[in-house]
Amino acid sequence: MAVKAIIPDYQGTALDPVENFHGNIMFHVNWEKHLMFCAPLAMAMPPDTPFSQLVEGTLTEAYGYHPDMARVDWQTVTWTRDHEPFEPDFNATLAENGVIHRTLLRFTAPGLEGIAGSAT
Amino acid sequence: MAEAKNMVYLALQNNEDARGIIEAIEEDNPHAEINHFPAMVKIDAKGKLVVNKATVEEKIGREWDPQEIHVSLISLSGNVVEEDDSFAVVRDN
Amino acid sequence: MSKKLNLRERYQRMTRDLAWEPTYQSKKDIYPQMDFEGIKIHDWDKWEDPFRLTMDSYWKYQAEKEKKLYSIIDAFAQNNGHLNVTDARYINALKLFLTGVSPLEYAAHRGFAMVGRQFAGVGTQVACQMQSIDELRHVQTQVHTISHYNKYFNGFHDFRHMHDRVWYLSVPKSFFDDAMSAGPFEFITAISFSFEYVLTNLLFMPFMSGAAYNGDMATVTFGFSAQSDESRHMTLGLEVIKFMVEQDPDNIPIVQGWIDKWFWRGYRLLTLVGMMMDYMLPKRVMSWREAWEIYFEQNGGALFEDLERYGLRMPKYWEQTIEGKDHISHQAWSIFYNYTHAAAFHTWIPEDEELDWLSSKYPDTFDKYYRPRYEHWREQAEAGNRFYNPTLPMLCQTCQIPMGFTEPGDPTTIGFRQSDFEDNRYHFCSDGCKDIFDNEPQKYCQAWMPVHQIYQGNCGGATVPEVLDWYHLKFGIDNFDYADSPDRKNWQAWKGLGDEAGADQEGEAAA
């Protein structure tokens, strides 16, 4: 369906294509069952960032407040990328792992269900 | 907001200005139910509520234009019928 | 012969009879926006004026309301009425109101002036013009009322600037921008019907009753002064719907589509009100859950049953709001608790009696899903480790709220929806928001999304302090927890309550 506009065949200009992010991609990460972090995260970084840096650097710090983070074993964490099961190559870059602009990554740390198992 | 079929209401501020109006409504609409809330009086009725200029004037002791009700009105439900000598809300379904 | 016109005649002469049939310009040129939305109006004279209010009466009675209102505001100021509120946490509800709601009144003023010009029927024009003046009056009275608080509390100083820039204020701003950039028939359906009729009690009642319960006489007075205008607005909303669907059956599916869209947008916008009711009123009126049950499930249900005869039905996804009522206020408070470092009002953990109130009002959800996080956060705050989320949140492209809403049927999992449009991906919090995008993607692909704009470098810089500066938010003063705020320190001092923990007005933390 198209917007009803007074100008026939109105086309808008998208504000968020990847070109507007100065060489970065903006993508999203969610730690399942840890709703203390109220929403998934939005992050912007270069597409050639190693996946290991995302995980051991950025995410560890981003989620570091949670007592469960110290117990996360990244080797047992399961991932989806855009809702499909995904096994990241930690030695490859985000781009090589198929993580592009607006990708949604979700990860689950088995056995870790938040504060008192409440998914917080 | 619409209530049960063909109910109408007027909600007025519970202050001096509205006191005469509320008393007039009570007198002229024996089928009406008056409920008090914080700073507000809500008057519910089936079918019709009418505010008569003559009755209000008798209560407040001066001339009164039915459109003065706007100063005290909080909310209403029903179809508004405004005449020179009355202000009413009706619902006839 | 009668020297004085009666009310009907006066109304006819001073409104309907001021219109004319143009002779040297076409109606299509004078009213160019009447056709493009697909709405067909065959006879504008079938419009039934809800009230017979002529401009002279309007001015007379509005002026009387103004005089009363400003006398009360004067008395409030002279008597330091701000010291009578329950406690200074309440003031944060007013910060949210001034930055989030008052600019919408101004937008409504502009919007009704715009559509009042574009509608081709004189009765509709007059009603819209009066509403435009009403809405201007509302923003003015709100600004005057709340300006008193600006002298004593933080966060009020630049509401207009903040409304245009601050991340959570894009939620109300985009709501009205969406309506104002739509055609006149959609605007009036969205605002007069969906907002001012279906959902009005869920905005006004919580703020005004909240003010009454918490000793804020100034806001109560403004509220009552505006309410009588609202009864005119409500009747306009209902008349608009009836008029459109009765003019042509082809209008019905278009109007239904707008009802669906604007119900959902309004419901998402009201998340902020639900949070205010459940968390920001030291003396609470009722829970969001209770308010939704009364004002939507019961009243709204009766309304839509009534509208069935016109071929209209309940708004799409209304069933999700029934489950949502047990969750959205807690999810919203959690969002603001996460990001209080970037907000122009304070948040806090509720006291024990307040947590217990929440447990009693939300017996199915609060203790299971939300109490554990508040107790953990409180424990951490008391140990000097108050939680602030260091990473920006993912936003829903349509409602622009951080994606804190959970999947219907599973309160432990965030709800995700997405769409692709012209080589770009968009994310949504719900089916309702996704549908809105999918129906008009050319509109929403242009949304100014605060988080995305920050990452594009358009918001003053890459660091939080730079962005807050760009917001005109005063670091260490407007933001952070209530416990560490100058508002609290001042309140404790003014009320002689001792325990003056909090920050100095210059943002220096107290010993």
**DSSP secondary structure letters along C130-188:** HHHHHHHHHHHHHHHHHHHHHTTSSS-TTHHHHHHH-GGGHHHHHHHHHHHTS-HHHHH
C352: helix, strand or coil: helix
A39 secondary structure, DSSP code = S
As a whole number of angstroms, the distance between CA C394 and CA C10 comes to 57
In the sheet that holds B86-90, the strands lie side by side as B48-52, B86-90, B79-83
**Mean pLDDT of all residues in A17-36:** 98
Nearest of C270, C328, C331 to residue C296 by alpha carbon: C270
What's residue B79's pLDDT? Answer: 84
As a whole number of angstroms, the distance between CA C317 and CA C4 comes to 54
Nearest of A41, A34, A30, A42 to residue A66 by alpha carbon: A34
As a whole number of angstroms, the distance between CA C291 and CA C349 comes to 23
Residue type, A114: G
For residue A76, pLDDT over 60 is answered with: yes
**Cβ B71–C64 below 8 Å, yes or no?**
yes
| C→B interface, C-beta within 8 Å | 6-8, 50-53, 57, 61, 64-65, 68, 197, 201, 209, 212, 220, 224, 227-228, 230-231, 234-235, 295, 299-300, 302-303, 306
Residue type, C463: T
CA distance C351 to chain B (A): 26
Q: Which CATH number fits domain A23-113: 3.90.1560.10, 3.40.50.1100, 3.10.20.560, 3.50.30.50?
A: 3.10.20.560
What's residue C509's pLDDT? Answer: 53
Q: What are the CA-CA distances from residue C67 to residues B19, B21, C47, C155, C222 (Å)?
A: 20, 21, 33, 28, 12
Residue type, C228: S
pLDDT digits (tens, 9 = 90+) for C360-392: 999 999 999 999 999 999 999 999 999 999 999
What's residue A13's pLDDT? Answer: 94
**Cβ C228–B74 below 8 Å, yes or no?**
yes
Q: Which contiguous run of DSSP H or E holds residue A52?
A: helix A51-53
As a whole number of angstroms, the distance between CA C479 and CA C468 comes to 9
Lowest mean pLDDT segment, chosen from A103-112, B67-76, C75-84, C140-149: B67-76
pLDDT digits (tens, 9 = 90+) for A81-100: 999 999 999 999 999 999 99
Q: Which residues of C296-313 are buried (b: 16+ CB within 10 A; e: fewer)?
A: beebbebbbebbeebebe
Residue type, A76: T
Q: Where are the domains of chain B?
A: 7-90
As a whole number of angstroms, the distance between CA A87 and CA C307 comes to 53
Give the predicted TM-score (pTM) of the model: 0.94
Are A and C neighbours with ≥3 CB pairs closer than 8 A? yes
Residue C413, CB-side half-sphere exposure with 13 Å CA sphere? 11
What's residue C1's pLDDT? Answer: 55
Give, in degrees to the nearest 5, the angle at Cα C241 between C238 and C243: 105
What's residue B93's pLDDT? Answer: 57
C427: chain A residues, CB-CB within 8 Å: 28, 102, 104
As a whole number of angstroms, the distance between CA C231 and CA C190 comes to 17
Architecture of domain C7-28+66-480: Orthogonal Bundle (1.10)
What's residue B2's pLDDT? Answer: 42
The torsion angles phi and psi of B48, rounded to 5 degrees, stand at -160, 140
Percentage of chain A beyond pLDDT 70 is: 100
Strand A104-108 versus strand A25-31 pairing type: parallel
Domain B7-90 CATH superfamily? Monooxygenase component MmoB/DmpM (3.90.56.10)
Whether this model's ipTM surpasses 0.90 comes out as yes
Q: Which residues of C58-75 are buried (b: 16+ CB within 10 A; e: fewer)?
A: beebbeebeebbeebbee
Q: What is the mean pLDDT of each run of 10 residues along chain C (511 residues)?
A: 79 89 96 97 91 89 92 92 96 96 97 97 93 96 94 97 98 98 97 90 85 92 86 88 96 98 97 96 95 89 88 96 98 98 98 98 98 98 97 98 98 98 97 98 97 98 96 97 96 89 64 39
**C157 within 8 A of C99, measured Cβ to Cβ:** no
B51 secondary structure, DSSP code = E
* Those residues with Cβ within 8 angstroms of residue C346's Cβ, 6 or more apart along the chain or in another chain: C89, C92, C340, C479, C480, C481, C482, C485, C487, C488
For residue B39, pLDDT over 70 is answered with: yes
C337: chain A residues, CB-CB within 8 Å: 38
Touching C (3+ Cβ pairs <8 A), the chains are A, B
What's residue C175's pLDDT? Answer: 98
As a whole number of angstroms, the distance between CA B77 and CA B80 comes to 8
CA distance B47 to chain C (A): 15
Nearest CB among A16, A32, A33 relative to C449 is that of A16
**Cβ C404–A39 below 8 Å, yes or no?**
yes
Are B and A neighbours with ≥3 CB pairs closer than 8 A? no
How many CB pairs below 8 A link A and C?
A: 152
Residue recorded with tokens 């309940």:
C314
In order, the DSSP letters of C62-76 are HHHHHHHHHHHHHHH
Nearest CB among B2, B68, B82 relative to C7 is that of B82
CA distance B28 to chain C (A): 22
As a whole number of angstroms, the distance between CA C83 and CA C283 comes to 15
Residue recorded with tokens 């209560």:
B59
User: Which residues sit opposite A27 in a β-bridge?
Assistant: A43
| Any A CB within 8 A of C413 CB | yes
Q: Where are the domains of chain C?
A: 7-28+66-480, 482-511
In the sheet that holds A78-81, the strands lie side by side as A41-45, A25-31, A104-108, A78-81, A84-86
* Those residues with Cβ within 8 angstroms of residue C3's Cβ, 6 or more apart along the chain or in another chain: none
> Which of C209, C224, C234, C296 would best serve as a mutation to test chain B binding (most B beta carbons within 10 A)?
C224
Nearest of A113, A109, A45, A38 to residue C429 by alpha carbon: A38
> Can you state the angle between helices C91-100 and C201-213, rounded to 10 degrees?
150
**Cβ C424–A118 below 8 Å, yes or no?**
no
Nearest of C242, C456, C188 to residue A16 by alpha carbon: C456
Residue type, B3: E
| Any A CB within 8 A of C438 CB | yes
How many CB pairs below 8 A link B and C?
A: 61
Give, in degrees to the nearest 5, the angle at Cα C137 between C131 and C143: 140
**Cβ C234–B75 below 8 Å, yes or no?**
yes
What's residue B1's pLDDT? Answer: 39
As a whole number of angstroms, the distance between CA C441 and CA C418 comes to 12
Residue recorded with tokens 């009907």:
C8
